[in-house]
Amino acid sequence: MIINSTELQNNFGKYLMLAAHEDIIITRNGTEIAKLTAIIEPLAEKINLTDMVYEKSSEYSYDGRRATFEEFLQLQRESEERYEYIDGEIYWLASPKTAHQYALTELFGIFYNFFQGKHCTPMVAPYDIELKRTPENINMVQPDIMIICDLEEKLNEDDYYKGVPSLVVEILSKSTRRKDLIKKLDLYMSCGVGEYWIVNPDNKEVTVYFFENQNFSKNATYKNNEAAQSYLFEGLSAEIGRIFRV
């Protein structure tokens, strides 16, 4: 990730956390001057890269340049496949495996029951969420689960939601791990999502990140006989043993 020195100064805590996942290159007046890197082995390096199947983004390189949002929308219209668009990169979404779908079903059931009769609404993928870093930098993602608290107010005339979910959940797989841990973590935090749950079927853990003012505030990881707890919604919890297959 490359940022300028002003951005680092204004959001040091955010980039200190992100440096645990990948190196942060700092520039001044367009020139690289420093690198923020983790002392411990970065999380991304702990992943067995030889076993990882990356999302098919290079297939849509558009003559070696990043795709525009309009080009992404055209691809989406012309294909029956599912895609996400993050910072100019297009990612093909592979069909999920059983462990992924088991965790998705169990967790959505917990959320659905909790929010019955409440103002917020749980939604499940595929469901496009449009997130804007700036008016020009538009991204389109499909979180596995979303908690939306302004659904009726943010529906456009074509019945598409144009707001920002309060809580999002991503269930890791080998093909999405790096994107979910790094790119989406930064995207959700930067665009106003309040809470981000990362569900890992491989090690049967759930990590909950709480964001305030588009920056890291709190986080916790739950495993074994524990129950993942929401910072944002009091009383919302999910027993780890229920989410994952034995």
DSSP string, 95-146: PP-HHHHHHHHHHHHHHHHHTTTSS-EEEESS--EEEESSSS-EEEE--SEE
Whether residue 126 is preceded by a cis peptide bond, meaning omega within 30 degrees of 0, is yes
Tell me the C-alpha distance between 107 and 113, whole Å.
Answer: 10
Tell me the C-alpha distance between 130 and 120, whole Å.
Answer: 18
Report residue 13's pLDDT band, with 50, 70 and 90 as the boundaries. Answer: low
Tell me the C-alpha distance between 240 and 192, whole Å.
Answer: 27
**How do residues 108-165 score in pLDDT, each as one tens digit?**
999 999 999 999 999 999 999 999 999 999 999 999 999 999 999 999 999 999 999 9
On the question of pLDDT at 74 being above 80, the answer is yes
Q: Are residues 208 and 223 in contact, defined by beta-carbon separation less than 8 angstroms?
A: no
- Identify the pLDDT of residue 52: 29
**How do residues 21-49 score in pLDDT, each as one tens digit?**
567 788 877 777 777 766 544 433 333 32
Give this prediction's pTM: 0.77
Q: Which CATH class is domain 96-243?
A: alpha beta
Would you say the C-alpha torsion 97, 196, 126, 129 has a positive or negative sign? Answer: negative
Please give the angle made by the CA atoms of 52, 57 and 61, to the nearest 5 degrees.
145
Q: Which residue has the higher pLDDT, 8 or 121?
A: 121
Q: Which residue has the higher pLDDT, 71 or 10?
A: 71
For the chain, residues classed under CATH 3.90.1570.10 are 96-243
Q: Are residues 169 and 141 in contact, defined by beta-carbon separation less than 8 angstroms?
A: no
For the chain, residues classed under CATH 3.40.1620.10 are 1-46
Tell me the C-alpha distance between 245 and 104, whole Å.
Answer: 11
Q: Are residues 24 and 1 in contact, defined by beta-carbon separation less than 8 angstroms?
A: yes
CATH number of the structural domain 1-46? 3.40.1620.10
Tell me the C-alpha distance between 47 and 4, whole Å.
Answer: 28
Please give the angle made by the CA atoms of 206, 211 and 212, to the nearest 5 degrees.
160
